[in-house]
Amino acid sequence: MDLSFSPEHLAFREEVRTFIASAMPPHLKEKAAADSHFEHDEVMEWHKILHQKGWVAPHWPTEVGGAPLDVTSRFILTEELELAGAPGLSPFGLVMVGPLLIQFGTPEQKKRFLPKILSGEEVWCQGYSEPNAGSDLASLKTRAEDDGKGNFIVTGQKTWTTYAQYADWIFCLVRTDGSAKKQAGISFLLIDLKTPGVTVKPFLTSGGTPAFSETFFEGAVVPKENLVGPLNGGWTLAKALLGHERTLIAAVGASTRAIRKVKRIAARTQKDGQPLLDDPLFRAKIARLEIKLRGLQMANYRAIAGAQLGRAPGPEASILKIRGSEIQQQAYELAMEAMGLASLTWFNEPGVVHPEEQWVPSLFNYLRATTIYGGTNEIQKNIIAKLILGLPER
Ligand SMILES: Cc1cc2nc3c(=O)[nH]c(=O)nc-3n(C[C@H](O)[C@H](O)[C@H](O)COP(=O)(O)OP(=O)(O)OC[C@H]3O[C@@H](n4cnc5c(N)ncnc54)[C@H](O)[C@@H]3O)c2cc1C
């Protein structure tokens, strides 16, 4: 297998770099340079810029608005956007429900929803988790009952709904048959968050940001035309969507950027009268992490080469998820170590430390979540044990 890039792909990488440098407004560039937090409006501003360029959904087929890019070019585009620290677009429409509608939606659903996901006119969120249904997602209890008049009546609660407070629509897993085996009684439903009986209650994280919400459904009336795929066939859709979600989390570009930052911080930090970057122990830690990252990058390239041969991402997405999430955390652990005392705060006020160190503690804390969301790493290990290593269930 040849994993090197062709001259055309190298030229495309240059094109992406030039585009980002010229198209990103100065206020976003300033935030990108410091890896600071982008507000929802800023994320949507960048979404619209990428949409105009035709690069907002490169992984979608061209007939529904995707970009005419091959798999490698799509990977290059993602990597360059991460390397530049560009605002990460909300994945719920573009990476999750959009591809699912393309695969399983009716022609009417595709026509109704896809263009507004692309343009950013409608923002989505994900209603999978419930207070007692996280890893054991199939035990979810939110009910959708047929009212005999062409609607479902939805009752229940979702939790950890990221950015529901900004969203217009939520895609939900709901129980439509309480008597069937757990997985066999679930359906996939699209719900307008403005529907009477739907309440979104944001809650603050320990970092002080309102990143999540609890979402309550109290007899919300949802038209049956919003059912995606077959009634009681939602589990197949749920799993397909999680596969898309996990491939996102490899984040090779983001980790490359983080390690470069660690090196810059260590070059500025003095230890025993020398830059920390010259300390052999610290250098060895960076080298170990870079080797792991290079291994992940190669595994990612292999997945891309597999995709070019028409193989859908299978359980190897779990390997990318585990390694990618661990490396992101370890890069920020090293950044914290290099910052020393200045890292012992949730957030550094501007002027206290170098601008690119201001957000390190906050990101370090946030990145604890990467080994939890998208299915915890323990669950990914179970998937690898069963589907790749063929080990028996306990
Ligand atoms: C930042 C963040 C954003 C999120 N955003 C969303 C969102 O937008 N929409 C949404 O629907 N959900 C979202 N989630 C929820 C996320 O998907 C769940 O947190 C995750 O699936 C784990 O479920 P849980 O929290 O209920 O933990 P539990 O399932 O209670 O697990 C607790 C611990 O036990 C371990 N464990 C459980 N079962 C097993 C097993 N069989 N074998 C080995 N170990 C096991 C787990 O790995 C974990 O360490 C988000 C979570 C976070 C942290």
Instruction: Encode pLDDT of 347-361 as tens digits.
Output: 788 888 998 899 899
How far, in Å, is the centroid of ligand 1 from the Cα of 136? 9
- For residue 112, being part of any structural domain is answered with no
- Whole-model pTM? 0.93
Q: What is each CA distance from 270 to 96, 274, 279, 347, in whole angstroms?
A: 45, 5, 10, 22
Question: Is residue 166 in a domain?
Answer: yes
Q: Using 50, 70 and 90 to split pLDDT, how confident is the model at 207?
A: low
The whole-number pLDDT of residue 246 equals 62
What's the CA gap between 106 and 376, in Å, rounded? Answer: 32
Phi, psi of 276 (to 5 degrees): -55, -30
CATH number, domain containing residue 213: 2.40.110.10
What is the percent of the chain with per-residue pLDDT over 90, rounded to a whole number? 76
Ligand 1 neighbour 160 (Cβ under 6 A): yes
What is the pLDDT, as a whole number, of residue 16? 98
Residue 210 is assigned to a structural domain of this protein: yes
What domain range includes position 279? 246-389
Q: Are residues 250 and 385 in the same domain?
A: yes
| Residue 385 counted as domain residue | yes
pLDDT digits (tens, 9 = 90+) for 120-176: 999 999 999 999 999 999 999 999 999 999 999 999 999 999 989 999 999 999 999
Query: CA-based diameter of the chain, in Å?
Result: 78
- Is 253 a member of any domain? yes
Average pLDDT over the chain, rounded to an integer: 92
Nearest protein Cα to ligand 1, atom 1: 369
Evaluate: CB of 128 within 6 angstroms of ligand 1: yes
Q: Is the pLDDT of residue 53 over 90?
A: yes
* pLDDT > 60? residue 32: yes
| Predicted local confidence at residue 136, as pLDDT | 94
The pLDDT tens digits for 69-127 are 988 898 899 989 999 999 999 999 998 999 999 999 999 999 999 999 999 999 999 99
Express as a percent the part of the chain with pLDDT over 70: 94
Determine the Cα–Cα distance for residues 129 and 145; give it in Å rounded to an integer.
19
Cα of 44 to ligand 1 centre, how many Å?
Answer: 27
Pick the catalytic residue from 245, 337, 349, 356: 245
Say yes or no: 270 and 209 in one domain. no
Tell me how many domains the chain contains: 3
Strand partners, 203: 212
| Cβ atoms < 10 Å from Cβ of 28 | 20
| 177 and 63 within one domain | no
CATH number of the domain where residue 273 is located: 1.20.140.10
Separation of alpha carbons 41 and 47, rounded Å: 10
More confident position, 207 or 42: 42
Looking at the domain assignment, is residue 98 inside a domain? no
132 Cα to the center of ligand 1, angstroms: 10
Say what the pLDDT of residue 312 is.
Answer: 64
15 near 317, Cβ under 8 Å?
A: no
Query: What b/e readout covers 164-197, taking b as 16+ CB neighbours within 10 angstroms?
Result: bbbbebbbbbbbbeeeeeeeebbbbbbbebebee
